[in-house]
Structure formats: structure tokens, C-alpha cells
Chains A and B, each alone.
Chain A
Amino acid sequence: MDWTPLFLTFKLALITTVILMVFSVPIAYWLAFSKSKIKPVFEALVSMPLVLPPTVLGFYLLVAFSPSNNFGNWLETWLGLRLIFSFEGLVFASIIYSLPFMVHPLQAGLSQVPKSIIDASYVLGKSRIETLIKVLLPNIKPSILTGLVLTFAHTIGEFGVVLMIGGNIPGQTKVASIAIFDEVEALNYGAANQYSFLLFAISFTILLMVYLVNGNKINRYIK
């Protein structure tokens, strides 16, 4: 059995999760506390990957990043980044695709923190950022764990977006879910079963751990 697709899957999931963790905190903070009138627009945008067929997202990313287009061309000339049919592109697409799975738990956690302890922190001389780091984040640990695990697990489960933007390049963009499809196409059911079983077992273990740690807190994020 070729372990590369599995290795690639976990590398992608790990990088995506770490990057999303950093970016989602300010987004979730804004969504949780802003009273702006345009907030629903951003809430809808963040939630889009939940309802959109992955192929739609993949298609637009493919068009946007294609070197024959202005933006794709600019990325390649100035940053040396080619985001289609490359691992970097997969990371980028995964970040967008898994965004709601990180932002929603964080946002829910942040908006449940009692207002008075935030006020208390301000009155005690702590800035918004200090309050976020020292008061808010430590009090939403279960939400952070939920976000991390869901993002990781969801990235493992990607298929459509990856296929659209990454293609099927062994060692670069051929993640486990694609490898399974590939093996089935080649009527190689034994290998497909091996990958499938491993993904099944790993995903189950991860989710089981979260449920055990968090009780039922992640119910509403899984459809």
C-alpha cells in the first residue's frame, strides 16, 4: 500500500487547521461582538461552504488562480505562487472550504461568555486584545477544541474541491479521498478498502474523542 496519499491528507489537514485557527479568531471575534449592519453579509459568506457544492467553490478558485487569468498570473509572477494543481493551492482551498467549521464554534463560544467578565477586564485596565487573549480564549477552550477537531476532520474528508483545484498528482495533490476514487476507477477494490477503512477509523476516533471530552457540544455543527 502506498502511504503517500494518507501522509498528504494529514499534512494538509494539519496545516489547514493551524492557519485557520490563527485567522478564525479575529473573524469569530468580529462576528460575535460587532453590531455592524453588514454583519449578516459576512455571516452568510462564512457559512457558504456548508451549503455550496464543493465543485462550485473549486471551479471559481480554479478560474481565479489559473495563470491565464490576471490574478493567477500576478500571483505567479510576483509571488512565485501557482495555486492550481499544487499543494499550496490545496491548502488555500481547504482554508476557505473549512472556514465555517472553525469560525462557528469560536463565534458561538465567544458570544456565550458573560458580558460582565469582559466589562470587568476593561474596567481593570485591560485592552480588547489583552481581554481576548487572557479572558475570552481561556474561557472558550471547549469551543476551540471543537473548532480544531472539526476543521481537521472536515479537511480529511474533502474531495470535490481538491479534485477541482488540485487534480490528481501523486505526492502533491493526490490525497487519500482522491486515491480511493482512483483505485475504484481502476477496479482495485482491495486498495480502496484499505484507504477507506483507515479514513473511517481515524475520523471515528477523532470525533469520538471530541464527544467524550465535550459532551454534546459539537452536535449542531455536524449535519
Chain B
Amino acid sequence: MINIAVNKNFEERGGDFYINFKLAINHGELVTIFGGSGVGKTTLLRIIAGLITPDSGSLEACSEIWFHDVQKINVKPQKRNVGFVFQDFALFPHLSVRDNLLFALPKGDDIAIISCLIEIMELGHIQNRKPETLSGGQKQRVALARALVQKPQILLLDEPLSSLDSSMRFKLQNYLLEVHKRFDLTTIMVSHDVAETIKMSDRVVVIKDGMVATYGTPLEVFSDHYSKEKSIVKGAVLAIDKATNHVSVLLGTQVVRIELSKEKLKGLQVGNEIRLEVKAAL
């Protein structure tokens, strides 16, 4: 459905940055692009949308060639018909919610889809308001609705939920999943949240330094490959109680108190990383 094999060199202040993406995505999949900041996640989305032109390679989507260096093909972003939800939502500030959606309606298309999307995304009560008066979650829904007006086959989401609090995030994750199925989309989402990625994606692409490092199902990508009874987790030492030989360790968002032998306590300082063995207990 989408076949990507592209290269590009960016000249930046901190030195050159080279990207080389090779990736095949099937129709109807929800794929998450995962990785730290500055590794090229957004760049991949922008290349698919046509907002960045690769130096070389090819890009095929929806049974069409969108970019090919040898054949000198480069379909404009206007002609690719992808839905794109930007990280800052990119709503047009001078247009109301409804007009933002109308803006996206191709000439001659049935206007009924606007009302339909307003209903699905529950935007009826805010449809006449300007974007600046909306909350983050509302803006997100408007951006998503607007991206669907053109009835795209491919939906690109650039960290769509990163600016929302956790309860709104959870609600919108479900929205996204529903939309993905209902409109039979191939969705590519950028995220750096492991829990979100595991919940939402069919497959995960891990990107490191401009390259595809791993590609697989979320469990394949995120879990240890070898089965064993014990697993090692790392934590940071928060406090040391020498009187009782206890240390407080931060594991994720949880603080645990562990007793250590005197020898092990020696030389340990607050801020050190320590490894803990974890075993399942039922």
C-alpha cells in the first residue's frame, strides 16, 4: 500500500543529518513511528505528505508513484490527498470550526460530509467558534475532522495527543481508533509514548538517527526477546537511609523502598542508577 525507500541529507547548524527510510506499510494498518526527539519522525510524515522532497529514492502509495528520482516524478502535496493532523493542529485562526472544515472540501464534493463529520466528532456546539477559543482536545477533534473532509486513504498524525492531559488523551485515542476503522484508513502516527503506542498500533516503526531501527508488532518491538523468569529493570536512587539500610528507588512513576546489605550500600549515592531484578508474583 505504501512503499518508501528514500534518502535525504539535511544541512543543519549542528552538522549534516542524513535520513534513509525503507518501509512498507499495508492497507488498513495503524502504524506508529516511535523514537526520541530529533531522529526524523516528523520528517518521515512530511516526506509522505510531499512537504519535504527527498534527494533520491522512491515513494509509492495508493497504487500510484508519488516520488521517483529516476523517473523524475514528484506529486505535489495538493494532489496526494492525504489527511494530516499537525502537532500544533494548524487550524486556520481566521475561520470558524465549520469554515475550517469547509475550506478542506474539494470543489464539487458533497457538502453533506461536513455535517456528518461535525456530528461524528461532536463539534456541533462549537462549530461557529474560532479556534483560539477552543480547548486542546476540541482543537484536536477539529483538526482530525478537517483532515478527513477530503476522504483520504492515508491519515498522518504528528504527535496528535502530546499536548493533552492523560484523561483527554485516553478519550481521543479511542476517537482515533474508531475513525481509523470507520473510514478504512491507513494511519501513520508519530508518538513517543510507549503505552499509547502499544494500545493503538498494529505495528511500530522505531526510528534511530534517521533510519528504521526496528519494525514489528508493539509487543515484538517493546518486550524482551528472550523469555526468562526474572527481568532486570533500572531505577534511580532517590534517598539512602543508612540507619535502617534502606534505599528509595524511582521506578517509572513509582517509588519503592528496598533493603540492601551494608556492602552494597557503600559508595552508593543519591542519583545513582541501580538495577533491580523483577519476578512475577501472583
B271: interface (CB < 8 Å): no
CA–CA, A134 and B84, complex, Å? 19
Chain B hits for A117, CB < 8 A: 90-93
In the complex, the answer to whether B104 meets A138 with C-beta atoms within 8 Å is no
Q: Which residues of B (67-86) have their CB < 8 Å from a CB of A?
A: 76-84, 86
In the complex the two chains form, what is the Cα distance from A131 to B90 in whole Å? 13
Interface size of B in residues (CB-CB distance below 8 Å): 27
A127 to B87, CA, bound (A): 22
Number of A-B pairs whose CB atoms are under 8 Å? Answer: 59
> A114 CA to B93 CA in the complex, in Å?
10
Among B3-43, those with CB < 8 Å from A are none
Asked whether B88 lies within 8 Å of A135 as measured between CB atoms, the reply is no
Q: How far is the CB of B206 from chain A (nearest CB, A)?
A: 25
User: Hey, what's the 0/1 contact readout for A119-136 against B, CB within 8 Å counting as 1?
Assistant: 111111111000000110
Whether the pair B84, A120 counts as a contact (CB closer than 8 A) is yes
B146-A124 in contact (CB<8A): yes
A127-B88 CB under 8 A given contacts A119-B51, A134-B103, A138-B94:
no
A125-B106 in contact (CB<8A) = yes
Question: A120 touching B86 by the CB < 8 A rule?
Answer: yes
**What residues of B have a CB within 8 angstroms of the CB of A123 in the complex?**
49-51, 77-78, 80, 82-84
What chain A residues lie within 8 Å of B115 (beta carbons)?
none
Q: Tell which of A116, A122, A135, A139 touches B78, judged by Cβ atoms closer than 8 Å.
A: A122
Of the candidates A114, A125, A126, A134, the one whose C-beta lies within 8 Å of that of B90 is A114
**Contact indicator B86/A125 (Cβ below 8 Å):** no
Question: B173 at interface (Cβ–Cβ under 8 A)?
Answer: no
Which secondary structure characterizes the binding site on chain B? loop
B150 within 8 A of A: yes
Taking CB atoms, residues of chain A closer than 8 Å to B150 are: 124-125
Contact partner of A124 (CB less than 8 A), chosen from B50, B51, B94, B104, is B104
Which B residues lie within 8 Å of A139 (CB)?
A: 92-94
Give the residues in chain A near B104, CB-CB below 8 Å: 124-125
The reply to whether B103 and A124 contact each other, CB–CB distance below 8 Å, is yes
Instruction: Report which of A120, A125, A138 forms a contact with B81, defined as CB distance below 8 A.
Output: A125
Least Cβ–Cβ distance between B109 and chain A, in angstroms: 10
**Cβ of A127 and Cβ of B94 under 8 Å apart?**
no
Q: Which residues of A contact B77 (CB under 8 A)?
A: 119, 122-123
Nearest-neighbour CB distance to chain A for B159, whole angstroms, equals 12
Within 8 A of B (CB), among A91-114: 114
Closest B residue to A123 by CB, please name it. Answer: B84
Q: How far is the CA of A134 from the CA of B76 in the complex (A)?
A: 19
9 pairs of A and B residues whose beta carbons are closest in the complex: A116-B90, A120-B90, A138-B94, A124-B104, A122-B77, A123-B84, A116-B86, A117-B90, A125-B78
What is A's interface to B at a CB cutoff of 8 Å?
114, 116-117, 119-127, 134-135, 138-139
Binding site for A on B (CB under 8 A): 46, 49-51, 76-84, 86-88, 90-94, 103-104, 106, 146, 149-150
Query: Known contacts A120-B146, A122-B51, A125-B106; can you find 15 more A-B pairs with CB under 8 A?
Result: A116-B86, A116-B88, A116-B90, A119-B46, A119-B77, A119-B84, A120-B91, A122-B50, A122-B76, A123-B77, A125-B78, A125-B79, A127-B78, A139-B92, A139-B93
Pairs across A and B, CB under 8 Å, 21 listed: A114-B90, A116-B86, A116-B87, A116-B90, A117-B90, A117-B91, A117-B92, A117-B93, A120-B84, A120-B86, A120-B91, A122-B50, A122-B51, A122-B76, A123-B51, A124-B103, A124-B149, A124-B150, A125-B104, A138-B94, A139-B94
